[in-house]
């Protein structure tokens, strides 16, 4: 039996804004046109759905074929690549930079497309890497780490008609959007996300994450009561 949806406001802000004071990130302040911001937000959030899937969701599928495997890495499924609109690691990077600010994009890329060491010096393997043809050194296929952790398993449906500008803080314009989150156990809830947009020299970018997960109602209420 489905749980009744309830409204939760979740501010999903990545605290990476310190770089905004750097001269290379600053642009001339101007009045923001709400229609322009809403149009940009819809376009960017739609693109970010694919980015979220690649980085944090079930990701790129792979062929379970040992003959093409390299240890824990298996060749990417071409149909999965087609669905996500990427063919190479460079395509994933380009999609990321097209959605998010440079600082956020670089952080995402370094933790998913490159080896990472934790505070104890333990190195983890990247989720994907680019395999090159041995003869001409051209990109051959994306290799997928079969042991990669899937962080996002819930189905999230964005109500793009609900996007509205909520506030302006410095050079960041925030919008709110209603989403419906459904778990694999068929539990459903409605959330309201607040997402920041920042205008770089070549256009608007997201400077907040756009993903979310089902939040346990009791846990959420406990958090609210502690404030």
Least confident range from 111-120, 139-148, 175-184: namely 111-120
| Per-residue pLDDT at 189 exceeds 60 | yes
pTM assigned to the model: 0.79
Q: What does pLDDT average to over the chain? A: 83
Check whether residue 68 and residue 131 sit in a common domain. Answer: yes
Query: Does 133 map to a domain?
Result: yes
In this prediction, residue 16 carries a pLDDT of 36
Check whether residue 179 and residue 138 sit in a common domain. Answer: no
Kindly state the DSSP code that residue 62 receives in the 8-state scheme. B
Looking up tokens 């759905």, which residue turns up?
Answer: 49
Check whether residue 74 and residue 141 sit in a common domain. Answer: yes
Range(s) of the domain holding residue 101: 60-145
Strand partners, 156: 181
Question: Is the separation of the CB atoms in 127 and 59 below 8 Å?
Answer: yes
Domain count, the chain: 2
| Per-residue pLDDT at 102 exceeds 90 | yes
Check whether residue 93 and residue 116 sit in a common domain. Answer: yes
Domain finish residue from 145, 179, 194? 145
In this prediction, residue 15 carries a pLDDT of 36
Kindly state the DSSP code that residue 153 receives in the 8-state scheme. -
Query: Does 109 map to a domain?
Result: yes
> If DSSP codes are grouped into helix, strand and coil, which group holds residue 93?
helix
Helix, strand, coil distribution of the chain in percent, nearest 5 = 30, 30, 35
133-165 pLDDT, tens digit each: 989 999 999 999 999 999 999 999 999 999 999
| Per-residue pLDDT at 9 exceeds 50 | no
Check whether residue 194 and residue 123 sit in a common domain. Answer: no
> If DSSP codes are grouped into helix, strand and coil, which group holds residue 203?
strand
Kindly state the DSSP code that residue 8 receives in the 8-state scheme. E
Domain finish residue from 145, 178, 207? 145
Least confident range from 44-48, 104-108, 133-137: namely 133-137
Q: Euclidean distance between the first and final Cα of the chain, in Å?
A: 32
In this prediction, residue 74 carries a pLDDT of 95
Query: Does 28 map to a domain?
Result: no
Least confident range from 19-28, 43-52, 102-111, 196-205: namely 19-28
In this prediction, residue 119 carries a pLDDT of 53
Residue 141 structure tokens: 């296929």
CA neighbor of 172 nearest in space, from 209, 210, 207: 207
């Amino acid at each position: 039996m489905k749980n009744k949806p309830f409204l939760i406001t979740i501010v999903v802000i990545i605290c990476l804004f310190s770089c905004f004071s750097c001269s290379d990130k600053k642009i001339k302040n101007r009045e923001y046109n709400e229609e322009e911001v809403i149009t940009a937000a819809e376009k960017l959030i739609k693109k970010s759905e694919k980015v979220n899937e690649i980085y944090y969701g079930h990701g790129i599928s792979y062929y379970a074929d040992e003959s093409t495997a390299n240890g824990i890495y298996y060749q990417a499924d071409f149909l999965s690549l087609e669905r996500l609109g990427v063919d190479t690691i460079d395509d994933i990077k380009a999609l990321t930079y097209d959605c998010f600010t440079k600082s956020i994009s670089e952080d995402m890329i370094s933790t998913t497309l490159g080896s990472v060491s934790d505070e104890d010096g333990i190195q983890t393997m990247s989720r994907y890497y680019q395999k090159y043809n041995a003869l001409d050194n051209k990109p051959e296929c994306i290799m997928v780490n079969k042991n990669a952790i899937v962080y996002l398993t819930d189905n999230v449906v964005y109500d793009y008609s609900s996007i509205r500008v909520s506030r302006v803080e410095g050079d960041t314009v925030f919008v709110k959007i209603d989403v419906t989150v459904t778990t694999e156990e068929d539990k459903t809830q409605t959330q309201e996300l607040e997402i920041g947009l920042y205008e770089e020299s070549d256009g608007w970018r997201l400077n907040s994450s756009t993903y979310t997960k089902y939040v346990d109602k009791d846990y959420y209420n406990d958090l609210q009561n502690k404030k």
